[in-house]
Chains A and B, each alone.
Chain A
Amino acid sequence: AQSVTQLDSQVPVFEEAPVELRCNYSSSVSVYLFWYVQYPNQGLQLLLKYLSGSTLVKGINGFEAEFNKSQTSFHLRKPSVHISDTAEYFCAVSDIAGGTSYGKLTFGQGTILTVHP
């Protein structure tokens, strides 16, 4: 069975400061990794994904994440945040089954990022 742990439920930060949102996972098989963002009363938008290849992946809105297989982590980073980045962020994993994604996503509990002026 898979599980995802987002280590911080809330992260307050000042505008233009760097931020890191932490995510660790456990799985008995290889996985694909995703970060989604959810703005209030909206659906989820994909920020970035790791499928294979380079362990540093870049996404939208200036976010990036690094896959660390030995530490089973996939932390999300941004060097300088904006007020508009205030939202809830979800880390998710999906099993790789037979070379194609099985599809079912297992989500972490979410991290609420609040950017203060």
Chain B
Amino acid sequence: NAGVMQNPRHLVRRRGQEARLRCSPMKGHSHVYWYRQLPEEGLKFMVYLQKENIIDESGMPKERFSAEFPKEGPSILRIQQVVRGDSAAYFCASSPIGGYEQFFGPGTRLTVL
């Protein structure tokens, strides 16, 4: 059973560009979570999604950030008009329905020049 997949592993963008981060949950998992790890900080919750539904986006910045988890395909975290402060590691985790554990992907390290 493949683990949580994230791509790309490393992403470089210039200020003002868009960044798209993809997450494929473990087989059979229908819950996806996104976390951000800023330098010198711990991991912060961003958003919790189920298929075609955003359950909790209380940790998402109000502007430029959006997330989706379509019926088919991976979950996407989209950052529009990136700024240097968006440079961070973005982790995706998944869990099955009723599951208590979250399984993490290897992360996408975003660098904004």
Contact = CB atoms under 8 A, between A and B. Distances in A.
Partners in one complex: yes
Interface of A: 32, 34, 36, 41-46, 49, 51, 90, 94, 100-101, 103-110
A100 B33 contact: no
Contacts of B65: none
B42 A110 contact: yes
Interface string B83-104: 0000000010101001111111
B42 A43 contact: no
17 contacts: A41-B109, A42-B106, A43-B4, A43-B104, A43-B107, A44-B104, A45-B104, A49-B100, A51-B100, A90-B43, A100-B100, A104-B45, A104-B56, A105-B35, A105-B45, A105-B102, A107-B43
Given A104-B45, A104-B56, A109-B42, A43 B106 contact: yes
A32 B100 contact: yes
A98 B31 CA distance: 17
Nearest to A110: B42
Contacts of B43: 44, 90, 105, 107
Interface of B: 4, 31, 33, 35, 41-45, 48, 55-56, 91, 93, 95, 98-107, 109
A43 B107 CA distance: 6
A109 to B, nearest CB: 4
Contact of A103 (B31, B91, B107): B31
Given A43-B105, A49-B100, A103 B41 contact: no
Contacts of B103: 46
A103 B35 CA distance: 12
A25 B56 CA distance: 22
